[in-house]
Structure 1
């Protein structure tokens, strides 16, 4: 190519050669017919020529070559050129004419082509310099860029040169033939263009495979067929994300969109998004599509947002005070979409009923408590808050509770609590001991309780609906032994070998069961049990015990006298006076004297035995003195004188 540029002949020579149809020089001539060819891309071209050569020359070779021709450059046979060899065919006899057929021509094939003769003579080389000018063209559709619906439009099928062959044009829209009619008219007239005429237009020449590139015809028109597309075609549940898409047919495409809910603009743009949709977004929506040629509204679409129950509450009828025996109705109120049809009633943690209405006839205190309802639809469920049924009733199950369930000891503080089941709680409480009111208020306190507080107690509980007494409870006050004393079972003269019985008397609760006997000045007990037999002289006392304590008695004196080998026991109280001591001494001397002097007298022995066993020393002494005075008056007087 660079060599061709350097060796090209001057421009005026090339121009001259192109203007002639044939050249004759000294018996040489080549004529081309036609000298100019305008061929359609991918078509077949026939280039014709006739030639003459001088007499005496013999043809050695003829061939076609492509231009440009350059001096000093060897011309190449097209049949040997790889770009042409498969597409080139010789049709002439190579003696007087040499026509060629070139198929599937391309735009690169546009150039000058020449015929070359070679004979057997040294000067037998000749090229027909005028050549054939081949122009390969394609088709182009000429169309206005934009038209408006209703305009008249002309489309032209153009080529870069006038086709040599007679041409009949064919038109296509969107690759489909527009009509079967074929003529030489390279124009397509669209009168009163419609939006349906929009599309890709191309043209071709009948009998040829080449089709022009598509040209888009845009027919402008205002929005039409405006509609709303919802991305969720099924049920829309609260919390979903919903997209509304405004579908509009317009040219140019609408760029201005408005969204209207009811009569209010709520958004703009082709897409209207609602993230986490709520029931407040329910309603009718439409969009308005606008371009420079007009505007149009879509039909309305309805967003029906489904949601589970919410705002669940319970209403109570009657709404005032509820008294045992009344009839009560509970109503479960719920907001949901679709409306809830399934309801459950719960008291505490237990299901007690179903349905929107829950009725209780002749209500009792057992029906008191916290109630709630559960509202259910296919999208979920929700509980109401608790409502309390507070059923009023008079006191019942009235009882007394003591502060301590164990033993109550004298000196303790005791609290009695009046327990009452009533609604409203009883505020008026009275306390009774026996039939006497002893206090008021729920709590009755006794500080430093004593045995005098023992007895039966009860309380009376009162509210505005009635009153009731409790059962009685008994206060049994425990205390240790007190007022402990010794009781002697007998008195007077005790013969040798006999004993006197001492009894320990005490006041205690519970009664003392444990008694100990002591002799003064001796460290250890000398006996136990409530009774004690004294056999020797001394001062004796007892000590009484129960689980709450102990107390000792005053001491009593036991005196044993030895008379004629025997013992006579004289008992005096520790606190007795001198007179009693003297009387007992006199009696003892008299008894000793009589026993000693009249031991053989049976009647007197019997009398002495009675004296020893008597339990009332005073009566014994009196009887004895009377008998002695009557029978032995003188003897007795002598004894008394001696004393």
Structure 2
């Protein structure tokens, strides 16, 4: 339709004018009446026109206004917002005029009209209706909630149908996708967590790309992983941090467990001044609405020996000949080396120290030492008290007095035993019945006597000693008993030497010596050395001469 532009008049007057000038012939047509253009693209609008014979075209242009009472409609090229984006081509005498608008924006959406002006004052026309330009952007439409395993369809939407045939392009994280594109849709089959990303779309040949839309594929937690800081060996007293890492969507809640006991929450679990009590298996649990997963990790705390404890097996009373085991228990990490000491003397190593056929020599204080690279500690000392039956039983003679008929000699029984012997029995050789009891015994008659010492672990008898008792008939008997020890042998030798010296002097005083087979009270008495022997004891008996008054009586 060609509308003639006239001075401002009412519509009725315009119709009257139309009749007056009814002989004219004009027309404006457009190649497209509607254009849907993508933002930032270029748009071309073309019109063709005719005008009455005899008129001359002075000017052709495009305008956005179609007000009939506006004589001077503005040329679009004069709008500041079209500066450097607007271009005309074609000539007014070609009856064809084209406008090109580049880098269109949403504000460029409007109706555009082709207008021409002739040399006749009333010969200005505009093509009405004009060309409707709609500028659209692209928006990605996606589901609000997507779970791993779902099939998803994304749509690239515009506010109008693009005039030019469009080939859509899809991007994930700015990287082009090549599969799953059907028209303006992107189809993702059985999505997984790798499909999470920012999706955008565009049109092939155009620079415009839609705003990106985040596609969040929701999924259950992956197996959590615990990292320990600082890494490496953990020594008691240090501070330690456990960090739980787990991939999930939405982000998982983290809980901490030691063994089966809840100890904390959050991605980080810290222990200040860690101790051996903190050793053990730690787990972090990662949980969201789609599932839960657990980690596994062992915290191995290094620490010096905390104690060393010594125990004895078997417990209770230890008797010589038994087998005894000492066991050292110690708590440390790494495990300590164990050493054994008796008093201050090193006697062995290892957790167990065994003594087979224990004896009294093994009695004493024992302790173990526990040591690793972080420290050392000693156990309390334990005393081994080895019980044994009497041994080294011997008889001692109390004094060396003169023994005559009617007197007695005291014999004392000594022994080494644990516990000390409390029961003593006295026997006379070749007699089965005991002749006395107690640690001491008074011998009233001549003979060989021995003692037997008893405790709950056994008994032992001594060697016999000889006791000689003489009648009180003017003779004095001295009884000396000694053990077979070196000291007593020396004493016997000294006594023998003395006797030989005395005998030598007596020989020098007397012209002749008469030896009698039997003692005669009326005769002179000669010294007689009687030597008796036993296994471990010797008895020396010396007979002294009768006093002078007795000798004179006999003569």
Please tell me the TM-score bracket, short chain as reference: 0.5 to 0.7
1:617 aligned partner: none
Alignment of 1:300 onto 2:293: no
2:132 aligned partner: 133
8 Å contact from structure 2 (residues 303, 334) kept in 1:
yes
Kindly tell me: are residues 312 and 94 of structure 1, through their superposed partners in 2, closer, same or farther at Cα, counting changes over 3 Å?
A: farther
Say which of 53, 57, 71 aligns to 1:55: 53
The TM-score with structure 2 as length reference comes to 0.52
Alignment of 1:227 onto 2:224: yes
> Structure 1, residues 142-171: CA drift from partner, whole Å, max 9, x if none?
221013333333222111001111112222
- Secondary structure, counterpart of 1:63 in structure 2: strand
> Structure 1, residues 415-452: CA drift from partner, whole Å, max 9, x if none?
xxxxxxxxxxxxxxxxxxxxxxxxxxxxxxxxxxxxxx
More strand per residue: 1
Kindly tell me: are residues 81 and 313 of structure 1, through their superposed partners in 2, closer, same or farther at Cα, counting changes over 3 Å?
A: same
1:168 aligned partner: 167
- Secondary structure, counterpart of 1:38 in structure 2: strand
Q: C-alpha separation between the residues in 2 aligned to 1:150 and 1:25?
A: 74
8 Å contact from structure 1 (residues 139, 204) kept in 2:
yes
8 Å contact from structure 1 (residues 228, 286) kept in 2:
no
Alignment of 1:189 onto 2:187: yes
Give the deviation of 1:204 after TM superposition. Answer: 1.7
In angstroms, what is the RMSD of aligned CA positions? 4.8
- Secondary structure, counterpart of 1:226 in structure 2: coil
Alignment of 1:32 onto 2:30: yes
- Secondary structure, counterpart of 2:163 in structure 1: coil
2:277 aligned partner: 280
Q: 1:416-565 residue pairs with structure 2 within 5 A?
A: none
Q: C-alpha separation between the residues in 1 aligned to 2:61 and 2:338?
A: 101
- Secondary structure, counterpart of 1:108 in structure 2: helix
Kindly tell me: are residues 181 and 225 of structure 1, through their superposed partners in 2, closer, same or farther at Cα, counting changes over 3 Å?
A: closer
- Secondary structure, counterpart of 1:280 in structure 2: helix
- Secondary structure, counterpart of 1:244 in structure 2: strand
- Secondary structure, counterpart of 2:287 in structure 1: strand
2:102 aligned partner: 103
Give the deviation of 1:224 after TM superposition. Answer: 4.2
Q: C-alpha separation between the residues in 2 aligned to 1:253 and 1:61?
A: 67
Bigger Rg, structure 1 or 2: 1
Q: C-alpha separation between the residues in 2 aligned to 1:241 and 1:28?
A: 94
The TM-score with structure 1 as length reference comes to 0.46
Q: C-alpha separation between the residues in 1 aligned to 2:23 and 2:376?
A: 114
Alignment of 1:44 onto 2:42: yes
Higher relative contact order (CA closer than 8 Å, sequence separation 6+): 2
Q: C-alpha separation between the residues in 2 aligned to 1:189 and 1:167?
A: 18
Q: C-alpha separation between the residues in 2 aligned to 1:104 and 1:133?
A: 17
Give the deviation of 1:343 after TM superposition. Answer: 9.1
Give the deviation of 1:135 after TM superposition. Answer: 0.4
2:436 aligned partner: none
2:475 aligned partner: none
1:254 aligned partner: 252
Q: C-alpha separation between the residues in 2 aligned to 1:315 and 1:151?
A: 67
Give the deviation of 1:331 after TM superposition. Answer: 10
Say which of 332, 335, 339 aligns to 1:336: 332
Give the deviation of 1:38 after TM superposition. Answer: 0.3
Give the deviation of 1:110 after TM superposition. Answer: 1.0
> Structure 1, residues 235-259: CA drift from partner, whole Å, max 9, x if none?
222233333333333333323x443
Kindly tell me: are residues 310 and 304 of structure 1, through their superposed partners in 2, closer, same or farther at Cα, counting changes over 3 Å?
A: same
Say which of 375, 382, 395 aligns to 1:381: 375
8 Å contact from structure 2 (residues 306, 332) kept in 1:
yes
8 Å contact from structure 1 (residues 79, 88) kept in 2:
yes
Alignment of 1:216 onto 2:210: no
Q: C-alpha separation between the residues in 1 aligned to 2:154 and 2:89?
A: 40
Kindly tell me: are residues 73 and 281 of structure 1, through their superposed partners in 2, closer, same or farther at Cα, counting changes over 3 Å?
A: farther
Name structure 1 gaps, 5 residues minimum: 1-8, 14-23, 321-328, 360-367, 390-643
> Structure 1, residues 82-131: CA drift from partner, whole Å, max 9, x if none?
32231222222232111011111111111122223233333343332322
Q: 1:120-159 residue pairs with structure 2 within 5 A?
A: 120-159=119-158
Q: C-alpha separation between the residues in 2 aligned to 1:42 and 1:25?
A: 45
> Structure 1, residues 334-383: CA drift from partner, whole Å, max 9, x if none?
543223569999x99xxx999889x9xxxxxxxx99x9979451xx4356
1:311 aligned partner: 307
Kindly tell me: are residues 25 and 354 of structure 1, through their superposed partners in 2, closer, same or farther at Cα, counting changes over 3 Å?
A: farther
- Secondary structure, counterpart of 2:82 in structure 1: coil
- Secondary structure, counterpart of 1:225 in structure 2: coil
1:398 aligned partner: none
2:288 aligned partner: 291
8 Å contact from structure 2 (residues 180, 188) kept in 1:
no
Q: C-alpha separation between the residues in 2 aligned to 1:234 and 1:267?
A: 23
Say which of 235, 245, 248 aligns to 1:237: 235
Give the deviation of 1:311 after TM superposition. Answer: 3.3
Q: C-alpha separation between the residues in 2 aligned to 1:58 and 1:118?
A: 8
Q: C-alpha separation between the residues in 1 aligned to 2:80 and 2:280?
A: 75
Name structure 2 gaps, 5 residues minimum: 1-7, 12-21, 317-324, 354-363, 384-555
